[in-house]
Structure 1
Amino acid sequence: MEKKSNISLSEVIQKLEYYCSYQERCHQEVRDKLKQFQLTSLERDTVVVHLIDHNYLNEERYAELFAISKFHQKFWGKKRITSELKARYISAYLITKALNAIPEDEYQNTFLSLAERHWNSLSDTDLYKKRKKCCDFMLRKGWESDKVLDLIMNYEL
């Protein structure tokens, strides 16, 4: 049996409105936040529905902003963005839509400049070690393996 909280439902709604207003949130983050309030499942559902109805919670907007910001700020590739969004239980349709928001020419230019910058930062003289380190770095960032291998193996950066 679930415990009843000392805080009123309207206070929880107000707190969650603030929580969602200063940063985009996905449904899973809101559900996790709601766990700190001892609410019944009906009350939790009521809060989530209220946030969706009043546009505080929008997974499409969240996914697009997440994809674009991680691409621009952390230089993540589409594979890493996809896995991070899946970990947040975002639907495949919204993930595809979010990835399509990234301009393809900008994606390609970022890929090339990031690879070149990392290649130039490596001090190894052994070409094979340097290729492996650069390849591992790009794969950790979530860039597609075929693109990375093609670039690293066929071109001298």
Structure 2
Amino acid sequence: MSSWGKYKPNESGKNSWSQEDAFEKLTTFCAYQDRCPWEIRRKLYEKGIKDEAAEKIIAELVEEEFVNEERYARAFARGKFRLKKWGRNRIRMELKMREISEELIRKGLTEIDAEEYYDTLLSQTEKKWETTRESDSFKKKYKVTQYLMNKGFEMDLVKEVIEGLISDQSQ
């Protein structure tokens, strides 16, 4: 028997949970790593629990402090910045996709130190600049800019860092 306990297949052929088992299983799911209601809703839907029943379970998880959207937004921003080297725009977009409010997104982004952010952008720019094989400097600049924009860094900062890098190399 798997660690998820007793299963019964639902209409999609996937294993489903009873409502009684769901809360217990989700406390473990949430204790392992911070989760947001959107992720819990997806997990419940996957296991055959929808609508009012799902919302009731989520409310109970929030009440018991297993789910806290501010804590989630802060942990998400810290983790994605430090581990994946994402910029603020990418983090904001991902949190919006997870239905986190703009106010909580702003609080989450305060977890990113401005100096560390700039240093990370600088090191990512230098690394990408070195690994980009392009003889045309305009095309190389474009490719590096696109890469950094896709990682979620702000255009004005990207431009500033690339210009600084180019002027340092030409001296």
TM beyond 0.5: yes
Task: Give TM-score, length-normalised by structure 2.
Answer: 0.81
Higher relative contact order, structure no. (Cα contacts within 8 Å, ≥ 6 residues apart): 1
Q: Please give the secondary structure, in 2, of the residue aligned with 1:79.
A: helix
Gaps of 5+ in 2: 1-15
Q: Residue 72 in 1 paired to residue 72 in 2?
A: no
CA drift at 1:155: 4.1
Gaps of 5+ in 1: 1-5
Tell me the amino acid that sits aligned with residue 23 of structure 2. Answer: I
Tell me the distance in 2 between the aligned counterparts of 1:43 and 1:109.
Answer: 46
Name the structure 2 match of 1:55: 65
Which residue of the other structure, out of 92, 103, 106, is the alignment partner of 2:116? 106
CA drift at 1:153: 3.9
Q: Please give the secondary structure, in 1, of the residue aligned with 2:46.
A: coil
Name the structure 1 match of 2:128: 118
Name the structure 2 match of 1:3: none
Mapping of residues 15-94 of structure 1, within 5 Å: 15-39=25-49, 41-94=51-104
> Does the 8 Å contact 2:44/2:50 carry over to 1?
no
Name the structure 1 match of 2:3: none
Tell me the amino acid that sits aligned with residue 147 of structure 2. Answer: F
Tell me the distance in 2 between the aligned counterparts of 1:142 and 1:40.
Answer: 33
Tell me the amino acid that sits aligned with residue 47 of structure 1. Answer: I
Task: Give TM-score, length-normalised by structure 1.
Answer: 0.88
What's the RMSD between the two structures over aligned residues? Answer: 1.9
CA drift at 1:154: 5.3
- CA gap 1:125/1:42 in 2 versus in 1, 3 angstroms: closer
Instruction: Report % sequence identity.
Output: 37
Q: Please give the secondary structure, in 2, of the residue aligned with 1:94.
A: helix
